[in-house]
Structure formats: structure tokens, C-alpha cells
């Protein structure tokens, strides 16, 4: 079932948590609400669930207004960051709870409840834990039980609030892959909140990037990573190098580097920022002519598993830049601390400083040797 959010506005005292949010979540998709803490993503999720009420705006499930519907009648499944399992009930009773509290007329028989719970336990592959108590389980197991409990009431929408936030890295990775596979099986419209960009990129169909109570960008993981709409999205998703410079008549100058930016044809000496991902940089031993490289010194080399990260200090202004390359590539021409190199971005985005509208039109530039 699809979710439509229209003009949602919410304040807590003087703090604006949600600033007129409009969002459409198509049926059957797994959508990530991604943003730093305090950006309003959890508030949005809780308002969709009905655990919080908005000051303005409406939420429609399949085109039907839900604001007036009580949380228990919304048929949503909610998974909490800290699981919120019922401590005094066994795993079985936790999962059965949603079925047992139904009004007598709609309550399934004991045999049906038993069958349903065992079906869900099989789905989460934890059948052997039915008689345990939550305190006897690991974090990963608890979160899977919490998910089964949410699914027991056959929700129309599944909402997950930082579902893997309290788990350690390894379990988190396992569990999010498992969630993705599960979603591919059951196809219930799902929204999950996360501040972990890697998690959002790996699991979701669509990412909604939020900041200061507003939506910065909506798109597929590929789209938000490759063509960020705003500097914020660029910074939030993945590591970046930032170069300051000026845009003038369709060109942007960043120190010694000069790149073409036809979008900024009308700009006259406008302050500009260029973003480059660490893996989108080539390092050359010799400078290229026609202003397509920046001189820098290698100040630090760290080996991170399959990657090598180099820290560079730009010769012109002393700014630090970060470059990542594969071990193989590094081995082909090993650099050493103190070496002089020439930085050649393969891929960069230019935003004009301070102008939100211009920033939403990113320039896309592919360096092709001496083309500039």
C-alpha cells in the first residue's frame, strides 16, 4: 500500500522537527529515511505510525486519510531501535501478542495463533527460541523477534526506527542483508530510518535524504550517490574532498585547476565549491598541461584492507585532500610519504556558494585527459 505525505509540519517547542514534508512512498518499496540525528526522520516515522501527531499536514494510506485513525487501527508494524520486546513474555508470547489482543470477534483461535507464530518463527529462522525470554537472547536475535512480532498482525506498512542501530557492525551487516531478502519475499511497503549511509545505500529501493526537517533529495541509492542534488547530500553520502574556488563565465577555477562548467555561464566571479570523492581522483607523477591538475605532497599513507588511503597536502594552499585507490593500483606505482604528485579529479560536482537554487543544478564533469 502506498503512503502519501502532504505538507507535514511538526514543532517541539521552538524546534521545528518537520518543515512541510511532501513525500510519496510507492507500494511494496523499501524506503530509507536517511539523515543526521535531529533531522526529523524519526519524528516523521512516528507520525506515519500514529505514535506522534503532526501540527499540520496529512498522511494518506492508499489515498485514504489516516490522521484521525488511532494508532491501533492503522495496521502498521513498528520495529524499535531498542527492540521494545515485552520482557516478561516468552518469544512465542511476544509474537502472539498482536493476535491475542484483538477484539474477540476478530481474534484467531489458539490453533491459528500457534500456527501463525510458528510460521513467523520459521521465517526469521529462530524456531528453537520460542520458549526463551528476551533477556536470554542476543541483540540480533531480539531484533528479528521484534520484526516477527510486527509482522504477526499482517501490517499494511512496516516501519523500522534505526533497526540495526544498537547492534555491532558485523551483526548489523548480516541483519540488513537478511532484511533485504525478507522484503523481497513479503513485499510489504517498508520505511526505515537510519543515519548510516552505507546501510541506506545497500538495503533500500529509494533513499530520502533529510536535513533540518526538510527533504534534500529523493532517489535511488545510485542517483543520490552519483548525482547529489545539494552539497549536503554530497557530504552526507560518502567521503568527499572540498575545493574552494570561483565560477566565471562557464569556467570554474580551483587553485591551479580549471574546469568547464557550462551551467554557470552567467556566473561572474561567484564563489564556488567543488566536491570530489576520494576514489574519483587519479594521481599523476607529472603535471598535465592546460590546468587540469593540482600539485600536492603525500603526507600519510594508510592501508585499509583492500584499499589504500593517501592524505595529500596541496602545494598552493596547504589544504588536505584524501585519495583512495585499490591495493593493486597502489602496488603498480607505490608512492611514498613526501612524494610530489599531481591530483587529477575524474569526476567532480560544482555548487555555487550560498545559493540554494544554483546548488540544486549540479555540474557533471568527466575529465578526459587534455579536453579542457
What three-state secondary structure class fits 261?
coil
Q: Which of 33, 38, 29 is nearest to 217 (CA)?
A: 33
Centroid of chain to Cα 52: 23
Q: Which of 4, 11, 20, 84 binds other proteins (CB under 8 A)?
A: 84
Residues 293 to 352: which contact other proteins by CB under 8 A? none
Positions 107 through 136 that interact with other proteins (CB under 8 A): 134-135
Our CB check for other proteins shows the closer of 89 and 301 to be 89
Q: Contacts with other proteins: how many residues (CB under 8 A)?
A: 39
DSSP run (H or E) holding 223: helix 221-226
- Is residue 270 a contact residue for other proteins (CB under 8 A)? no
CA distance 58 to 62: 13
Question: Which lies closer to other proteins via its Cβ, residue 91 or residue 207?
Answer: 91
Q: Give 103 or 338: the residue with its C-beta nearer to other proteins.
A: 103
- Nearer of residues 41 and 144 to other proteins, judged by Cβ: 144
CA dihedral 69, 200, 8, 362 (to 10 degrees): -160
For strand 347-352 and strand 365-366, is the pairing parallel, antiparallel, or unpaired? antiparallel
What counts of helices (H) and strands (E) characterise the chain?
A: 10, 21
Question: Nearest approach, Cβ of 143 to other proteins (angstroms)?
Answer: 10
- Contacting other proteins (CB under 8 A), which of 24, 102, 285, 329? 102
In terms of CB distance, is 71 or 123 closer to other proteins? 71
If binding is defined by CB under 8 A, does position 98 make contact with other proteins?
A: yes
Q: Select from 166, 223, 295, 372 the one that contacts other proteins (CB under 8 A).
A: 166
When asked if residue 168 is in the footprint of other proteins (CB under 8 A), the reply is yes
| 178 lies in the binding site for other proteins (CB under 8 A) | no
- Grid coordinates of 211: 536535513
HEC letters along 264-326: HCCCCCEEEEEEECHHHEEEECCCCCCCCCEEEEEEEEEEECCEEEEEEEECCCCCEEEEEEE
**Interaction of residue 66 with other proteins, rule CB under 8 A:** no
Binding mask 26-65 for other proteins (x = CB under 8 A): -----------------------xxx--------------
Whole-Å CA distances, 150 to 46, 244, 307, 309, 332: 15, 49, 40, 42, 52
Q: Is 231 in the site for other proteins (CB under 8 A)?
A: no
What contacts 236, CB < 8 A, 6 or more positions away?
34, 35, 36, 197, 209, 211
Contact between 177 and other proteins (CB under 8 A)? Answer: no
Q: Is 78 in the site for other proteins (CB under 8 A)?
A: yes
Judge whether 47 and 10 are in contact, CB under 8 Å: yes
Nearer to other proteins (CB atom), residue 161 or residue 216: 161
* Site residues, other proteins (CB under 8 A): 49-51, 71-74, 76-78, 80, 82-88, 97-98, 101-102, 134-135, 138-141, 146, 149-150, 152-153, 166-168, 170-171, 174
Amino acid at each position: 500500500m502506498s503512503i502519501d505525505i502532504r505538507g507535514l509540519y511538526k514543532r517541539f517547542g521552538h524546534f521545528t522537527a518537520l518543515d512541510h514534508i511532501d513525500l510519496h512512498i510507492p507500494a511494496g518499496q523499501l524506503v530509507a529515511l536517511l539523515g543526521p540525528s535531529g533531522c526529523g526522520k524519526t519524528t516523521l516515522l512516528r507520525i506515519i505510525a500514529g505514535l506522534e501527531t503532526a501540527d499540520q499536514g496529512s498522511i494518506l494510506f492508499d489515498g485514504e486519510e489516516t490522521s484521525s485513525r488511532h494508532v491501533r487501527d492503522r495496521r502498521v508494524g513498528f520495529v524499535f531501535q531498542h527492540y521494545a520486546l515485552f520482557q516478561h513474555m516468552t518469544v512465542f508470547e511476544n509474537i502472539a501478542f498482536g493476535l491475542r489482543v484483538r477484539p474477540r470477534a476478530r481474534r484467531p483461535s489458539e490453533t491459528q495463533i500457534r500456527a501463525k507464530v510458528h510460521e513467523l518463527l520459521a521465517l526469521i529462522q529462530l524456531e528453537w527460541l520460542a520458549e526463551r525470554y528476551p533477556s536470554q537472547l542476543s541483540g540480533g536475535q531480539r531484533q528479528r523477534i521484534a520484526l516477527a512480532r510486527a509482522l504477526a498482525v499482517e501490517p499494511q506498512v512496516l516501519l523500522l526506527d534505526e533497526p540495526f542501530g544498537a547492534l555491532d557492525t558485523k551483526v548489523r551487516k548480516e541483519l540488513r542483508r537478511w532484511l533485504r531478502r525478507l522484503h523481497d519475499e513479503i513485499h510489504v511497503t517498508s520505511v526505515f530510518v537510519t543515519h548510516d549511509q552505507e546501510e541506506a545505500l545497500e538495503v533500500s529501493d529509494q533513499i530520502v535524504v533529510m536535513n533540518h526537517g526538510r527533504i534534500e533529495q529523493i532517489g535511488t541509492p545510485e542517483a543520490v550517490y552519483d548525482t547529489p542534488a545539494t552539497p549536503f547530500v554530497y557530504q552526507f553520502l560518502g567521503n568527499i574532498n572540498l575545493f574552494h574556488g570561483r565560477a566565471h563565465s562557464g569556467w570554474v577555477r580551483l587553485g591551479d585547476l580549471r574546469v568547464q562548467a557550462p551551467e554557470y555561464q552567467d556566473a561572474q566571479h561567484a564563489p564556488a565549491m567543488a566536491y570530489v570523492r576520494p576514489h574519483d581522483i587519479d594521481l599523476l607523477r607529472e603535471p598535465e598541461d592546460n590546468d587540469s591538475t593540482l600539485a600536492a605532497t603525500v603526507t600519510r599513507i594508510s592501508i585499509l584492507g583492500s584499499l589504500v588511503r593517501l592524505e595529500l597536502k596541496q602545494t598552493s594552499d596547504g589544504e588536505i585532500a584524501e585519495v583512495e585507490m585499490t591495493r593493486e593500483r597502489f602496488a603498480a606505482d607505490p608512492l611514498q610519504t613526501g612524494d610530489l604528485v599531481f591530483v587529477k579529479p575524474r569526476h567532480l560536482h560544482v555548487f555555487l556558494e550560498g545559493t540554494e537554487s544554483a546548488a540544486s543544478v549540479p555540474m557533471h564533469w568527466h575529465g578526459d585527459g587534455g579536453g579542457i
